[in-house]
Amino acid sequence: MVKANGEEPKTLTIDIGGTGLKMEVIGPQAEPLGERFKVATPHPATTTAVLTALEGMIRQQPAFDRVSVGFPGVVVDGVTRTAPNLDPSWRGFNLAKALSDMTGKPVRVCNDADVQGFGDIEGRGVEMVLTFGTGVGAAVYVDGKLVPNLELGHAPFKDGKTYEDYLRDSELKRIGAKKWRKRVHNVVDQLEPIWNYRVLYLGGGNARLLHQDELPSNVHICSNSAGLTGGLALWERR
């Protein structure tokens, strides 16, 4: 996409999380064009409360031409179907339309782990992403093509717990970083023979607590910034 004046479009990227809202405007090479903003997610995180917070943040951003959003739940055609770490008001909410009406710009919305992965993957073979934050996100790509809305975090894992129950932020705080890292290693050991990925990327805010030298060579710890820079791919790959 190139604007009528020949310029590359500027993208406002938004990451909606259970604990924080982040955004920045980036250029065609994912270069930042302004300051990255972050505020705490309102609680309760209703649609009205979150949109009001986003509107205030958007007013402080430089000019942009389109909007990309990562959302912590299942998203179909811009409509949020689930939001386990937010509020029930998000079920069936047309987030793309709401933000388009607010900004006057075209908007694309995708699961947040899916967006994170677009900022990390190389586009070859089977690549998998796990994100660790308030909850646990997951994404899978085959030769750069997304298998959307995987939501592995809510699948059963062990002792009646889901992957998210086992690795979510509240559990990290309860058991401490050392035991939590061991749990991550247990999950990685289970996933590899099931998915047979070429590379597994570990991201999200809590990935900073992991140690690269303790992980297999095809498991990479990634920057949390990919949750924003991956927003470019929503326009390039879909």
pLDDT digits 0-9 by tens, 88-118: 999 999 999 999 999 999 999 999 999 999 9
pTM: 0.90
CATH architecture assignment, domain 122-221? 2-Layer Sandwich (3.30)
Angle between helices 47-58 and 95-103 (to 10 degrees): 30
Helix (H, G, I), strand (E, B) or coil at 188: helix
Q: Is the pLDDT of residue 1 over 60?
A: no
Question: pLDDT at position 31, please?
Answer: 93
How many Cβ atoms are within 10 Å of 82's Cβ, its own excluded? Answer: 19
Q: How far is CA 31 from CA 17, 105, 152, in A?
A: 22, 20, 31
Alpha-carbon span 210 to 68, nearest angstrom: 28
How many Cβ atoms are within 10 Å of 154's Cβ, its own excluded? Answer: 17
Please name the residues in contact with 200: beta carbons below 8 A apart, sequence gap of 6 or more: 127, 128, 129, 130, 188, 191, 192, 218, 219, 220
Question: pLDDT at position 227, please?
Answer: 74
Give domain limits for the chain: 11-114+228-236, 122-221
Cα atoms in the 13 Å half-sphere on the side-chain side of 86: 27
**What CATH code would you report for 11-114+228-236?**
3.30.420.40
Mean pLDDT, residues 119-124: 93
Mean pLDDT, residues 13-40: 94
The answer to whether domain 11-114+228-236 and domain 122-221 are alike in fold is: yes
Closest CA to 139 of 197, 84, 221, 206: 197
173 in Cβ contact with 165 (< 8 Å):
no
Q: Is the pLDDT of residue 237 over 90?
A: no
Q: Is the pLDDT of residue 4 over 80?
A: no
Please name the residues in contact with 56: beta carbons below 8 A apart, sequence gap of 6 or more: none
Closest CA to 120 of 110, 130, 111: 130
Beta-ladder partners of 143:
none
Helix (H, G, I), strand (E, B) or coil at 12: strand
Alpha-carbon span 52 to 200, nearest angstrom: 36
Closest CA to 226 of 26, 42, 79: 26
Closest CA to 50 of 12, 79, 14: 14
